[in-house]
Amino acid sequence: MKILVLNAGSSTQKSCLYDITGDIPFSPPAPLWEGKVDWSHHQGVAEIQVETATGEKFTEKIATDSQSQVMARLLNTISEGSTKVINQSEIDVVGHRVVHGGKNYRESVVITPEVKNAIANLATLAPAHNPVNLAGIEAVEELLGVTQVAVFDTAFHRNMPDAAAIYPGPYNWVEQDIIRYGFHGISHQYCAERAAEILGKDLQSLRLINCHLGNGCSLAAIKNGCSIDTTMGFTPLDGLMMGSRSGSVDPGILIYLLQQKDCTVEQLYNVLNKASGLNGISGISSDMRQIKAAISQGNERAQLALDIYIHRLRSYIGAMLASLGGLDALVFTAGVGENSPEIRQAACQPFEFLGVKIDSSKNISKPIDKDIATTDSAVRVLVIHTQEDWQIARECYKFV
């Protein structure tokens, strides 16, 4: 079975082509073909990069904003030139990461006109993602005409208990679908299942805290294989301090800025999403690597940004711990979670009273899909390379 996965972001798109023979394995095979499109470097210019499993590479720049035109060129590299791996007609199904599925989609679904309308209507809740997700769906519809599957980032969290999902505002918020949806669900689901495999345990028996720490950050408390609490909320802006997003702040601050400082809604949106977090406090960057480099040169604001980041990470781990009533494993994933031993050490340090012990040598050895806790630690500490694209492919496999 040939499964094409499209993982579209606001300024980039990753694509993978998998060839599955027989039953689908849990561990991902190497993709036959990988493609990436990046619009972030030059406005109106799409940079295409392609690589095959045999090492063939292709790069090209196209002066266009047309998703359909770029998708056509990208798909052509699957079946033409030095990067040809199959004919396009051999693709059986295409899976899409869709950021917001709203209240009605609790699992992945085959894409129909009704599903497309829902994705479009939810664009107000995920304006940077749902429209590009939909554009990718429509481009594939035009070019390939095969079965397409929507894999929602919110679906994994949709069975959270009401006490965790409902905000303490007026009850008519619930009637307006203003609830905590949670995000990074594809990553959280994959990492939970991978954690059980690494530990040799039944996922249904485990209490896990997943720490997805990238440019966007969220935690998920997972019990019996289900998300029972998470840090992101109605939008991906809630919860932890992130690269350029504020995370949770006193809503009174927002009212004050709107009323007293002549701040527009658009300005407030940009401040909270693009000029806050590590970037806003440090004044340097949203990239943790650059924050650390500035700290090494004595930059006090960079140090403050890191201190706030760690404080809030510890605080929310404690909140997730309370929801679970205990902990079997703490999981770190995504760019910062996978690559920063200092963040992992700092996050675990306050929980030594629970018996959480990190093996320092394992922690600094660039672990991937490894347990870095000491042998006598009461809680396992895992570093897992998140595989969202493969999780999407696994979801697609169920439908074909």
Query: Domain 200-383 is classified in which CATH homologous superfamily?
Result: ATPase, nucleotide binding domain (3.30.420.40)
Least confident of 23-27, 95-99, 217-221, 249-253: 23-27
How buried is residue 124: exposed, middle or buried, by Cβ count under 10 Å (0-12/13-18/19+)?
exposed
The pair of structure tokens assigned to 123 is 């664009």
User: Does the pLDDT at position 11 exceed 70?
Assistant: no
pLDDT band at 13 (very low <50, low <70, confident <90, very high): confident
Q: Where are the domains of the chain?
A: 2-152, 200-383
Average pLDDT value for the chain: 93
DSSP string, 67-128: HHHHHHHHHHHHHSGGG--S-GGG--EEEEEES--TTT-SS-EE--HHHHHHHHHGGGTSTT
What dihedral do alpha carbons 20, 23, 26, 30 form, nearest 10°? -20
pTM (2 decimals)? Answer: 0.92
Please state the separation of Cα 75 from the chain's center in Å: 24
Total Cβ atoms within 10 A of residue 186: 28
DSSP string, 324-346: HTS-SEEEEEHHHHHH-HHHHHH
Q: What is the predicted pLDDT for the residue at 377?
A: 97
Share of the chain above pLDDT 90, in %: 78
Rounded distance between C-alpha atoms, residue 267 and residue 271, angstroms: 6
The DSSP output letter for 192 is H
Q: Please list, residue by residue across 239-278, b when 16 or more beta carbons sit within 10 angstroms of its beta carbon and e when fewer do.
A: bbbbbbbbbbeeeeeeeebeeeeeeeeeeeeeebbeebbb
User: Shortest CA distance to 119 belongs to which of 153, 144, 158?
Assistant: 153
The pair of structure tokens assigned to 333 is 């994933």
User: Does the pLDDT at position 160 exceed 70?
Assistant: yes
Rounded distance between C-alpha atoms, residue 193 and residue 191, angstroms: 5
| Contact assessment for residue 92 and residue 3, using Cβ atoms and an 8 Å cutoff | yes
The pair of structure tokens assigned to 276 is 């806050």
Q: What is the predicted pLDDT for the residue at 283?
A: 96
Name the β-bridge partners of 94: 4, 148
Residues 6+ apart with CB under 8 A from 144: 75, 88, 91, 94
Rounded distance between C-alpha atoms, residue 237 and residue 276, angstroms: 11
In CATH terms, are 2-152 and 200-383 the same topology? yes
Residue-wise pLDDT tens digits, 46-68: 899 999 999 999 999 988 877 77
Rounded distance between C-alpha atoms, residue 18 and residue 40, angstroms: 27
Least confident of 138-147, 290-299, 339-348: 138-147
369 torsion bin: left (phi>0), alpha (psi -120 to 50), beta (else): left
Phi, psi of 376 (to 5 degrees): -100, 10
pLDDT band at 10 (very low <50, low <70, confident <90, very high): low
| Contact assessment for residue 48 and residue 58, using Cβ atoms and an 8 Å cutoff | yes
Q: CA Rg, the chain, in Å?
A: 21
Task: List active site positions.
Answer: 153
User: Shortest CA distance to 9 belongs to which of 248, 286, 215?
Assistant: 215
Q: What is the predicted pLDDT for the residue at 70?
A: 85
What is the pLDDT averaged over residues 30-53? 87
Query: Could you give the count of Cα atoms lying within 13 Å of 397 in the half-sphere of its Cβ?
Result: 18
CATH architecture type of domain 2-152: 2-Layer Sandwich (3.30)
What is the pLDDT averaged over residues 15-43? 86
Q: CA distances (Å), 108 to each of 24, 257, 297, 321, in order?
A: 17, 40, 47, 28
Q: What is the predicted pLDDT for the residue at 400?
A: 79
